[in-house]
Structure 1
């Protein structure tokens, strides 16, 4: 299963991150390249790929890894972006054009530099922090606390009952856009428990036999989507209208028609998730699974 934002193929070179002399050599290398970004959005080239330039005198940069012998870096912007993904249309338009490898490189870079832009002060004492380990850590200048890039786990799940699939439309989704249910994994909770809890909270359905399918990094701002499948004990829905606009059961034939690229949008039972979303791949997995 090929998922967006995965498999960039870079050598992360973790040993270099902890070696200041090695990092300085990499930054001074004539092969070093800096990812071109406008804020947190990628700057596309003539081929709709990422564009790269020289490092110059950029104050804060993070080391992304080695592309062959070429060290790749990204600059920390002045400000991060706390808006949810659906409010970032310019970035989405660019993402739809990027080749798969470039999309994966950009996704990792975006998550990392956005975290840095929003963590310039210590959460423990409030003092300024400094970039460390090539951008994979920040250290407090006062209390010496160490801070690390955050990744938030999210359970995203297909719920099945008697061969039908339960999908929902979020409050901010376009009309007719349905997707898998999802929610953050909470402290003290396993993925299976998160799936069961979220489905029960959002649509009032009890779920069992939860199994893992696939995962995907999601850089808005920095999440790890944990794709799962579960079996529902019943079909009656009690929708939490503070989170879900609509939810309903779809037959296998309806899902297959919705996912058929040859079918016009107006003839689909619902509009499926975009190709970059793990939910789209979960639906394909479910159809191929039979």
Structure 2
């Protein structure tokens, strides 16, 4: 199975969760301790945007035993992600000094998650659990002190909460909403390029939802700010968790009411219209000029693929 086959239309990375989150267990410290000590317990060990994986003959293994994780140097204090077939799965962080030691070993690798997922190295059904681990580890690393009074806070509820011992404030992990949208005009769609994109790659425009803003307004605002295009008829397609560090990509489509592009060069390198034939070649990686659409790993690919499957609306 190729990396492209791993993410069929409508199933980008991070959307298929095989875990029972078992939230009722988060407040039971005794039960969680017992689950973590069970021989069937497993953990994903996260370092920045990478995973610690065990190198085996069949390929890298991301789901480690608790004993493997701790021997590799993972931090004590695990985050309870949920149950898989009755066995507990946890997320763990690891310090840079421990990672440095691992880099000298042949049986362990510290590998960037996005690359592994895009290459199909990690089973797609594990990616959602890994995204949970990555988002939660990152949140704890960035929110170790109370935002209210500055006191060091403590991990609670299986890692899903931090309590301040001083002012008693409770802190919970957050997810940032991001709209990502395919804008169409008749038989054309709008895509943009950012400077960090690989050469020849184009994708859907996207941006964070602002305070007290609806999804529909965010779509219209972001499209206009980045491309100068006015749009209407905003509709929802699907969402994709995005653990960079902890966003929710809200996939939408919209119909343009203008076509004259004015690119905001602080946000985009370029933006342009593509017709269906060219967009299809880009999605298939068959464009004669080497242009490419977004990878199936990302929701943008599925927005584009879904549009290409619809009957053209030449009057839109």
TM-score, structure 1 length as denominator? 0.90
Deviation at 1:35, TM superposition (A): 2.1
Q: 2:291 aligns with which of 265, 270, 288?
A: 270
Cα deviation code 1:242-282 (max 9, x no counterpart): 00100000001111111124x2x6x1562111221110111
In 2: Cα distance, 1:173 partner to 1:128 partner: 39
Per the alignment, residue 108 of structure 2 pairs with none
In 2: Cα distance, 1:94 partner to 1:68 partner: 25
In 1: Cα distance, 2:50 partner to 2:199 partner: 26
The answer to which of 152-161 and 60-69 deviates more is: 60-69
Secondary structure of the residue aligned to 1:4 is coil
Q: 1:98 aligns with which of 119, 122, 129?
A: 122
Deviation at 1:7, TM superposition (A): 1.4
Superposition map of 1:220-231 within 5 A: 220-231=244-255
Per the alignment, residue 85 of structure 1 pairs with none
Residue 281 in 1 paired to residue 293 in 2? Answer: no
Per the alignment, residue 100 of structure 2 pairs with none
Alignment check: 8 A CA contact 2:203 2:300 kept:
yes
Secondary structure of the residue aligned to 1:224 is strand
Alignment check: 8 A CA contact 1:42 1:94 kept:
no
Alignment check: 8 A CA contact 1:215 1:224 kept:
yes
Per the alignment, residue 145 of structure 2 pairs with 121
Secondary structure of the residue aligned to 1:128 is coil
Alignment check: 8 A CA contact 1:17 1:133 kept:
yes
Deviation at 1:40, TM superposition (A): 4.5
Residue 63 in 1 paired to residue 80 in 2? Answer: yes
Per the alignment, residue 52 of structure 1 pairs with 64
Distance 1:242 1:40, change over 3 A: closer
Deviation at 1:76, TM superposition (A): 3.1
The answer to which of 33-42 and 68-77 deviates more is: 33-42
Per the alignment, residue 17 of structure 2 pairs with 8
Alignment check: 8 A CA contact 1:258 1:268 kept:
no
Residue 241 in 1 paired to residue 276 in 2? Answer: no
Distance 1:203 1:41, change over 3 A: same
Per the alignment, residue 224 of structure 2 pairs with 200
Per the alignment, residue 182 of structure 1 pairs with 206
In 2: Cα distance, 1:38 partner to 1:239 partner: 36
Per the alignment, residue 107 of structure 2 pairs with none
In 2: Cα distance, 1:118 partner to 1:54 partner: 24
5+ residue gaps, structure 1: 80-88
Root-mean-square deviation (CA, aligned residues, Å) is 1.9
In 1: Cα distance, 2:205 partner to 2:63 partner: 35
Alignment check: 8 A CA contact 1:6 1:104 kept:
yes
Secondary structure of the residue aligned to 1:25 is helix
Cα deviation code 1:5-28 (max 9, x no counterpart): 111210100100122222222223
Aligned residues: 278
Alignment check: 8 A CA contact 1:159 1:207 kept:
yes
Secondary structure of the residue aligned to 1:168 is strand
Alignment check: 8 A CA contact 2:183 2:189 kept:
yes
Distance 1:174 1:58, change over 3 A: closer
TM-score, structure 2 length as denominator? 0.83
Alignment check: 8 A CA contact 1:257 1:269 kept:
no
In 1: Cα distance, 2:256 partner to 2:47 partner: 45
In 1: Cα distance, 2:95 partner to 2:151 partner: 18
